[in-house]
Structure 1
Amino acid sequence: MSDQARGHATATIYEASKMTIALDPAIRPAWTGARVAGPAYTVQGAGGDNLALHSAVAAAPAGHVLVADLGGALHGHWGEVLAVAAQQRGLLGLIIDGGVRDTVELAGIDFPVFSRGISIVGTRKGYRGGLGVPITVGGIRIATGDLVVGDADGVVAIPHEHVTDVLERSDARVADEKRIFDELRVGKTTLELYKFAAIP
């Protein structure tokens, strides 16, 4: 995963943020072990058409993660060919509200993809779409430049103006959890540490 999220897990970032930044849990890794973190480059496409994704691969700056709204359509909008093209242009991964295919091949080239589902259903190439425009993916509004982070537990999108604050709070949460783990290992209970009321 890119160090832009300081290696923090999505669950840590979400809890520390105190914000609504978690995408719909249906947006999942397309292959086991996929992880990604980086600034979003947004794509507004149409379900069942992947021309906008081809355009995005050509246009997006290196070091960005493509984030695409395909209306949740379960077509094979993305596969090995686009992934190889994206890698060659320095793109970090894809988060898509729609379907993808070639998941074994995507894992084989270590290109992280997070999608609503897997599908081999073909696509048209007729809708030019929009690049770099605000979109909604997994129920969350995302703009180009927002920090997106994905791992085995899900995906979060941090508005660019809040990134520094959220990551600093994530650092503090990780440090506090380390203290908690240390205390658990010497025999304290979670009831004690979190001051939960025990059942009488």
Structure 2
Amino acid sequence: MSAADGPARGHTAATLYEAAVAAEGPGRYAMDVGIRATWPGARVAAPAFTVQGAGGDNLALQHAILEAPAGSVLVADVNGADWGHWGEVLAVASQFRQIAGLVIDGGVRDTVEMAELDFPVFSRHVSVRGTRKLFRGALGVPVQVGAVTVHTGDLVVADADGVVVLPQHVADRVLDTADERVAKEADIIRRLKAGESSLDIYGLAEAGRG
């Protein structure tokens, strides 16, 4: 399956953020900038499976690996805690279950190993500290991750620029708007390569003049 056939139609997080604002108006579609890729080139686009865990404990994540549908991305709230809640062992277990990746408001470790596995992870911290395994947490419930409320089934798109979450009821409209934006941008790039200026293309030549 090509990227264009995937859940995000091949669109980047930045494109989808702009499309969401254009299609739905101002809203909280992007996680805060503290949630970022743990290794260069990490990228994921998949429906969310949400995890409410606890800081310094990764038992909820281990249960989530067994419960999440294949093709989903785990989206976990562990209260921003800077323990290493996730590492190589859980990434390998997730790949066996065909889980697409992890977005976590907290810490992870083994980032080199996860890059070698090509398992995309987006987190607030990288930390060597291990965790306890006591709190089963809750799965499939609304969570707050990176200041965004995420529900199971929401479309999550994450790459080098950040993490965008599209609620299920707006995702198709936003994707259609993104398709239109990409087509327009392709024409703008063509015109720039032909020598036109961005000021002229966007009608900004007179902007800022009093």
> TM bucket by the smaller chain?
over 0.9
Task: State the alpha-carbon separation in 2 of the partners of residues 61 and 122 from structure 1.
Answer: 27
Larger mean CA deviation between 75-84 and 15-24 belongs to 15-24
Task: State the alpha-carbon separation in 2 of the partners of residues 114 and 139 from structure 1.
Answer: 14
TM-score using structure 2 length? 0.93
Q: Which residue of 2 aligns with 1:46?
A: 54
1:108 to 2:116 alignment:
yes
Larger mean CA deviation between 189-198 and 160-169 belongs to 189-198
Q: 1:20-99 counterparts in 2 under 5 A?
A: 20-99=28-107
Q: Which residue of 2 aligns with 1:133?
A: 141
Task: State the alpha-carbon separation in 1 of the partners of residues 77 and 199 from structure 2.
Answer: 43
Q: CA deviation at 1:187?
A: 1.1
Q: CA deviation at 1:117?
A: 1.2
Q: Which amino acid aligns with 2:17?
A: Y
Q: CA RMSD in A?
A: 1.1
Moved over 4 A (4+): none
TM-score using structure 1 length? 0.97
173, 178, 197: which one pairs with 1:189?
197
Q: Matched residue pairs, number? A: 200
Q: Which residue of 2 aligns with 1:155?
A: 163
- Gaps spanning 5+ residues in structure 2: where? 22-26
Task: State the alpha-carbon separation in 1 of the partners of residues 135 and 179 from structure 2.
Answer: 42
175, 179, 183: which one pairs with 1:171?
179
11, 14, 23: which one pairs with 1:8?
11
- Gaps spanning 5+ residues in structure 1: where? none
Task: State the alpha-carbon separation in 1 of the partners of residues 85 and 136 from structure 2.
Answer: 14
Percent identical among aligned pairs is 58
